[in-house]
Amino acid sequence: MLWMTLGVRDLLKNKGFSFFFVLNLSLGLAGFIAIHSFGRSLDRHFDTNLKEILTADLVVAANRAIAAKDLERINSFLGNDYTHSRQVSFYSMIRTTIRNQAHTRLVRVMAIDNSYPLYGAFEMAQGSTPTDLQTRPYVFMSTDTAYALGLEPGSGKNSTLDIGEQAFILKDHVVSDPENSLTSFSFAPRIYIGIDQLDRTGLIRYGSRIWVSHFYRLAPDTDADQISKRLKDRFSQLYKDQPPYYIYTSNDVNRRLGRLTRYFTSYMGLVSVVTLFLAGIATAYLFRGYLNLKRKEMAILMSVGGSKQSIWFYISFQLILLGTAASFLATLASFFIIPAFPMIFKGLIPDNVILSVSPSALALAMGLGMAGSMIFCLPVFIQIFDIKPLMLLRGTPDTATSWLKQVLSLLPGVTAFVMISIYAAGKLKTGLVFVGGFTLAIGVLFLIGQGFVQACKRLSQSRTPVVKIAFRNLYRNQWTSLSIFVTIALGTFLISLIPQVQNGLQTEIIKPDGLKIPVFFLVDIQDEQKAPFVAFMEKQDAIISNLSPMVRGRILKRNNQPFHQRSDESRRRRGRRLEFNFSFRETLDVSETITQGDPISTEYWDWESNTPFDISVEESFAKENKIALNDILEFEIQGIPFTGQVKNFRKVRWNSFQPNFFLLFQNGVLNDAPKTHLAAISQVPMDQRQQLKNRIVDQFPNISVIDVTQMANTILGISNKLSLSIRFMAWLAIAAGLISIFSIARHEAWKNRNQINLLKVLGSEYPAIRAITLIEFGVIGFAAALFAILLSYGFSFGISWYFFDNLWQINGIISILILILTTLICMGTALSASRKVMNTKPIHLLTSGT
Amino acid sequence: MIHSRVNRFILAALFFTSVIANASHAAGKPYHIVILGDSLSSGLGVEPEQAYPSLVQVRLKSSGRDHIKITNASISGSTTAGAVSRLKWFLRAKPDMVILALGANDGLRGLSIKEMEQNLGACIELALDKQIKTVLAGMKIPPNYGQEYTRAFETAFENLSRTYDIPLIPFLLKDVAGKSGLNQADGIHPNADGHKIIARTVLETILEQL
Amino acid sequence: MILELKQIQKSFEQPRSGTIQVLNNINFSVDAGETVAITGHSGSGKTTLLSLIAGLDLPDTGQILLDGENLCQMKENQLARFRALKIGMIFQQFHLMPHLTARENISLPLEILKQDNIRRRVDEMLEKIGLTDRQHHVPAQLSGGENQRVAIARALIITPKLLLADEPTGNLDIQTGNKIAALLFDLVEKENKTLIMVTHNLVLADQCQQVWKLEQGSLG
């Protein structure tokens, strides 16, 4: 009790310091909570987004009814807590009679049950629900589709359509439907009927081509990918490598979108670990600083009979009190700040993201604040146990702690850090890589710091007194200088890791400059239709944003070896792909860039030359099939052999929405081959779309028009959100990091006040003192930040290489900004501290005990 | 100058004729069959040797009909719209018989049957005009497309066969369609076993016409 | 005999200049109630000697017997408690807890050692040093002399057998120093304490019953 009372009394008497300490610590912790919570919220948001696209966690689908026994097998993998929905979809020609004229038209009939969708929802013009479809022959469709079919909702003459043998009534318009058709292109508009009405159509019988999907929504935090993998393995066993079922999760919906969200999760992990490290550094620094200030008091207490245990308890109790206060303050602040994010940062963060304080972040921050004191301060405590009250007589701390003891005392802290990092990163590997890199960085920065101190020694030979004093101070207090250098450098290093990765990711995610978002894809344009089609489109209120010839053929050999596509599980399921589409184009699309090799020749290839023609290979295709530059590929197109050579690798931006091809050939190879054309149509006014579609079909009946508006909107919407979030998180992390640096610098400046005071007592004028302080802190801040940023380039490149498929780009502006801000923060805090000292009586500082 | 732009396809066509010419010395009169089809004929998802055109070729050979050469001119995803221009291209190889196995994609995409009939009709006229024996492979569309459309679709092939008086394989996927053991997981493309059955069906017709 | 030092040797390792012999074969004894001054130049080993007597450091060889017990053979925690009970220390820089009031500083050792009648004993002590009216002030609010009085009171409150003072007036002006010295000697005499004082203030040293001069680690 005595020690607790003493501890509290001490803190209360020392209000200024306690407040300052708690404020500094809580800033760091609040930053961590905010970033972690924000990241988790966004992660959840994108996860839900993906699930809403699929409308489920897991889908098992087949081109026939799934056997009851297999459904039971599936259920046994899902645990007890799941919901289920069944859907049957198929193409059909429906009939309508408008003004006594019969029309038939291809639609995609989606027969849904009451539970559909498991994620997301229908938005209906009149608020109907899937339940309405089950008991009566009702149908839902979009306004566009209804218009195209000449239908109006209600019970009038113009609201009936025949699907198979049953007349259905258009009940309501779908404003937005749950499935965004990212899974496949659809040649026809979707219409919805109740699954219970399916039999009445008489369309489902032997030979019918249907698609049966079973959707599953699993308990939260269930690893759907893991279940999917196990199910696939199980069915592979049962059906001897020819499983009749397609099993996919939200990550499979759109491979690239899935990959991007995985990037995002990794990125959030990175940001989270970085802010955790920053908060950790600031916390450890403040705690250790506190302990060093308390050394003499501890000696006094020992000299009047306090045992080491009770003194340890006394100090720990104080630290825990301060840490707890800071954690509570940070928690309280984050409860106010985080919900205000969408308002404060309107336009900077994605709309419709539900932000909530992450309980795990709170727990971590609490743990960091409360238990952190014990863990981080153990190395200092170990030294304190070797303090003798002797220092009261000698005036200098006399500690010689053994090496082993010091290393051992670091272990709990390091262990805790590793564990928290793994937690914050969300992955064992990620966490370990970060911790490893961080340790390495500390080592490197320590060495650089020593070099810096040596450099200060040289610079202290200056003739300008102020400069001389400043550099001499840095050099003479070399341990202090080194520790500030390393700490500030570590902080800057961590902050600066993010912008490069962010820049790389963002460049990958945002839509390419000059991209025209397509509205329609047109397939099967015949060669002889090309000219009339172009002429036709010129008269329309739209543009052709891409028109690519397409020739189908096989790849026979690669470097004289038979060409086989890698036969992984998915290939096996879909059957081996041997046929490919080839194309050629005069200039690359805006979404394409050559990553390796030279552009393919623009010369007209002469086959008589007997030289192989140039080929451009899409990067991921090359990687997947182990194709290298200068490889010789042999093709067969319509029975004719060709030989080409890989000239370059080409990266295609994932969200280009343009017809892209794995292989592009040199001009002249395919010009006369039998081919069709693919076109993308852009810039069609909203209200013109349906008419344009009808006009194209009327004019060119063989051309299929695929409406990609919704898909493009979904993907662009998500990528915009991702991009926005990634940038915002980077800024947030930088802000949090600068705050940490600020609290470290401020603490250091405060410690420096004795020296300033001494200068003052010795008669230095304020301008000289100010200059000395500014040089000292400015130089140390600048040097630390500069080296840290340079080091961070190397590390962030490594991180990008390891986690983000090499998406890395120097973010020069932000680097310079970080450099300037760090230097300014160091100088600013030092300046304000020195000004405070100038306004204090020297005697007060001398007597108040140091 | 013109010479340098002679494209490979034309030369390849010449190449065909020369091969055939050479073959004629070996065994009887050379006979060239072109199969103009879509993914069902191109063998999507199976090895080229497993697709029915190759199987037919192998069987012809093993029955001593070495002089018959089959060219598989099938393109996955193709519709009847490109039939005429594709046939024109293969005319250069002077085929003796053409098997038209198109239409499935027209049907699946719900394209106009009238249009399909016209496309195929134009193609048949061109072939007949060049005195090429023409065989039409009939197709059916799954019942989910609705009775009216599926019937109209089937009838189109019968009509064409009757109008031009050409032989008709009533249904290319006879005994294959709808059988899970004979199709790939997508339920529409035959697997290797399915192709064996199609080969039998097609071979029967070819032999009848020789 | 309250304190006896036998054949004390003490040296320090210096990274550059090698081993420095600070104390060389020190032998002396002090009887209860005696006052002793140790004088000498700076660096003569005064402070080292004092820290050995206080049990804050251990000699390389030799024995230190306090109240019949050998300090050199005690375990660390045992020594700390023994020291707290038997030795009162007064420092040149006072070394008071900065955030505790005069009263709290004085009562601190009693509280730590869990003694009885704390309030009464502190009241008496405050009266003895004449700071009853300033007892609720913190060190920063007190003068140097007052701070040293508090420090003396803190040293005496545990009724130690031995009082050790390291330049007790070194941080004070002459007048205040004299007053503090007078108070110290007065209290030592009244309470019958043994005092060992390190000082190079010869006036102060002369007031002690014995004066030992330390020269190059040996007593002259």
Please say if the pLDDT value at position A604 is more than 70.
yes
pLDDT of residue A658: 75
| Average pLDDT estimate for A147-165 | 81
Residue C135 vs residue A478, higher pLDDT: C135
* Chain A residues within 8 A of B110 when measuring between CB atoms: 91, 93, 105-106, 187-188
Report the CATH number at residue C164: 3.40.50.300
A 10 A CB-CB count for B80 gives: 26
DSSP A736-803: HHHHHHHHHHHHHHHHTHHHHHHHHHTT--HHHHHHHHHHHHHHHHHHHHHHHHHHHHHHHHHHHHHH
As for how many domains chain C has, the answer is 1
Q: Tell me if A503 sits within 8 A of A655, measured CB to CB.
A: no
| Helix, strand, or coil (residue A58) | strand
Helices (H) and strands (E) counted in chain A, each on its own, are 27, 21
User: C-alpha A690: how far from its chain's center?
Assistant: 37
Please state, in angstroms and rounded to a whole number, the distance separating the CA atoms of residues C137 and C147: 10
CA pair distance A318, A8, nearest whole angstrom: 7
C-alpha to C-alpha distance for A303 and A309, rounded to whole angstroms: 14
- Domains in chain B (CATH in brackets) are 3-209 (3.40.50.1110)
Using a CB-CB cut-off of 8 Å, the residues of chain A touching C108 are 6, 301, 304
The C-alpha of C97 sits at a distance from chain A's nearest C-alpha, in angstroms, of 6
Nearest Cβ partner of B146 from A92, A606, A671? A92
Tokens 């006052």 -> residue: C35
Q: Which of A161-170, A177-186, A450-459 has the lowest mean pLDDT?
A: A177-186
At C123, phi and psi to the nearest 5? -55, -50
Q: A458-490: string of b/e by CB count within 10 Å (b at 16+)? A: ebbeeeeebbebbbbbbbebbeebbbbbbbbbb
Instruction: Decide: C27 and C8 in contact? Cβ < 8 Å.
Output: yes
| Gyration radius of chain C's alpha carbons | 17
Task: Chain C: list its partners (3+ Cβ pairs within 8 Å).
Answer: A
Q: If pLDDT is split at 50, 70 and 90, which confidence band does A184 have? A: low
Assigned token pair, A834: 């020195």
Question: Which residues of chain A have a CB within 8 Å of the CB of B57?
Answer: none
- Across the interface, whether the CB atoms of A305 and C98 are under 8 A apart is answered no
Please give the pLDDT value at position B21: 41
Chains B and C touch (3+ CB pairs under 8 A): no
Q: Between chains, do B80 and A93 touch, taking CB under 8 Å as contact?
A: no
pLDDT at A183 over 60: no
The pLDDT tens digits for A18-62 are 887 787 778 778 877 888 888 888 888 888 877 887 888 899 998
Q: Which of A207, A526, A573 sits opposite B185 (nearest CB)?
A: A573
Question: Look-up: residue for tokens 């992990």?
Answer: A269
pLDDT at A744: 79
Residues 6+ apart with CB under 8 A from A197: A111, A133, A134, A136, A137, A138, A166, A168
pLDDT at A221 over 60: yes
Q: Which of B73, B80, B143 sits opposite A208 (nearest CB)?
A: B143
Active site residue B186: yes
Residues near A609 by beta carbon (within 8 Å), at least 6 away in sequence: none
| C-beta of residue B69 within 8 angstroms of C-beta of residue B23 | yes
Annotated catalytic residue B189: yes
- Ranges of chain C with pLDDT below 70: 14-17, 220
Instruction: Note the pLDDT tens digit of each residue in B68-79.
Output: 999 888 888 889
Determine the structural domain holding residue C157 and report its residue range.
3-219
Which residues have C-beta within 8 Å of that of residue A100, sequence separation ≥ 6? none
From CA A756, how far away is CA A774, in angstroms rounded? 12
Reported as type and span, the H/E element at residue C211 is: strand C210-215
**Share above pLDDT 70 across residues of chain B, in percent, rounded to a whole number:** 87
Would you call A304 and C108 a contact, using CB atoms and an 8 Å cutoff?
yes
Interface confidence (ipTM) of the complex: 0.85
Number of Cβ within 10 Å of residue A304's Cβ equals 25
Residue in C95, C98, C113 nearest the CB of A305:
C113
Query: Do the strands C194-198 and C210-215 form a parallel or antiparallel pair, or are they unpaired?
Result: unpaired
For chain C, what is the mean pLDDT? 86
| A641: closest chain B residue by CA | B12
CB distance B83 to B100 below 8 Å: yes
* pLDDT mean across residues, chain A: 82
Q: How far is CA B190 from CA A353, B80, B206, in A?
A: 47, 20, 21
Q: Name the catalytic one among B39, B41, B54, B78.
A: B39
Active site residue B39: yes
Residue B88 touches partner A, C-beta closer than 8 Å: no
Least reliable range by pLDDT among A82-96, A181-195, A812-826, C159-173: A181-195
pLDDT of residue A664: 92
Contact between A575 and B45 using a beta-carbon 8 Å cutoff: yes
Chains touching chain B, criterion 3+ CB pairs below 8 Å: A
- Classify C178 as helix, strand or coil: helix
Residues of B in contact with A678 (CB under 8 A): none
Tell me which residue in A104, A204, A554 faces B48 most closely, judged by beta carbons. A554
For residues A613 and A665, the answer to whether their CB atoms sit within 8 Å is yes
How far is it, in rounded angstroms, from Cα C86 to Cα B40?
105
Q: What residue type is C66 in one-letter code?
A: L
pLDDT of residue A626: 86
CA distance to partner chain A, nearest, from residue C16 (Å): 17
Contact residues on chain C for A847, CB-CB shorter than 8 A: 140
Position A400 scores a pLDDT of: 57
CB atoms < 10 A from the CB of A386, how many?
A: 14
CA distance B138 to chain A (A): 16
The number of angstroms, rounded, from the C-alpha of B148 to the middle of its chain's C-alpha atoms is: 26
CA atoms lying within 13 Å on the CB side of residue A59: 28
Q: How many Å lie between the alpha carbon of A563 and the closest alpha carbon of chain B?
A: 12
A-B interface: how many C-beta pairs under 8 angstroms? 152
Give Rg (Cα) of chain A: 34
pLDDT tens string A768-814:
888 888 888 899 999 999 999 999 998 888 888 877 777 788 888 88
Count how many pairs of residues, chain A against chain C, have C-beta atoms within 8 Å: 79
User: Cβ–Cβ contacts within 10 Å for residue A188, how many?
Assistant: 21
Which residue bears the tokens 């505790």? C100
Residue B53: cis peptide before it, omega within 30 degrees of 0:
no
Higher pLDDT, A259 or A843: A259
- Taking the CA of residue A644 and the nearest CA in chain B, the distance in Å comes to 14
- Reported pTM: 0.73
A7 pLDDT exceeds 50? yes
CB atoms under 10 Å from CB of A45, counted, come to 18
**Top-confidence range, A503-517, A595-609, A654-668:** A595-609
**Length in residues, chain A:** 850
How large is the average pLDDT for residues B150-174? 95
A649-671 as b/e, with b when 16 or more CB fall inside 10 Å?
bbebbbbbbbbbbbbbbbbbbbb
> What is the DSSP secondary-structure string of chain B?
-TGGG--HHHHHHHHHHHHHHHHHHHSSS-EEEEEEE-HHHHTTTS-GGGSHHHHHHHHHHHTT-TTEEEEE---TT--GGGHHHHHHHHHTT--SEEEEE--HHHHHTT--HHHHHHHHHHHHHHHHHTT-EEEEEP----GGG-HHHHHHHHHHHHHHHHHHT--EES-TTTTTTT-GGGB-TTSSSB-HHHHHHHHHHHHHHHHHH-
